[in-house]
């Protein structure tokens, strides 16, 4: 009986965990390649060409959006804006 009460008291936390797990599984199955490409671009070609990119207002805006997505602790819902 105590186990049932404990599980019942943790219902919200268990549901949150389940949702977080689904987000992570989906991320690794469908978005991880995009995430890796974003990191490579931000730390590679975008970084080495930053001075040229900063001369274009649209490029500055796009780069800012990409960097903000990269810094999110849970970027899952935003990666679809990259592809």
Contact 59, 53 (CB under 8 A): yes
pLDDT of residue 76 exceeding 70: yes
| Ranges of each domain in the chain | 2-81
pLDDT tens sequence across 12-71: 999 999 998 998 999 999 999 999 999 999 999 999 999 999 999 999 999 999 999 999
Residue 30 near residue 77 (C-beta atoms within 8 A):
no
Residue 74 CB partners (closer than 8 Å, separation 6+): 23
Taking each helix axis as running N to C, give the angle between helix 2-9 and helix 11-26, from 0 to 180 degrees, rounded to the nearest 10.
60
pTM (two decimals): 0.73
């Amino acid at each position: 009986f105590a186990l049932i009460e404990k599980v019942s008291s943790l219902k919200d936390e268990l549901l949150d965990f389940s949702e977080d797990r689904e987000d992570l599984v989906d991320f690794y199955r469908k978005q991880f390649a995009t995430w890796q490409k974003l990191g490579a671009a931000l730390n590679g070609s975008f970084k080495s060409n930053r001075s040229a990119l900063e001369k274009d207002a649209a490029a500055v805006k796009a780069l800012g959006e990409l960097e903000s997505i990269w810094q999110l602790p849970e970027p899952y819902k935003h990666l679809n804006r990259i592809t």
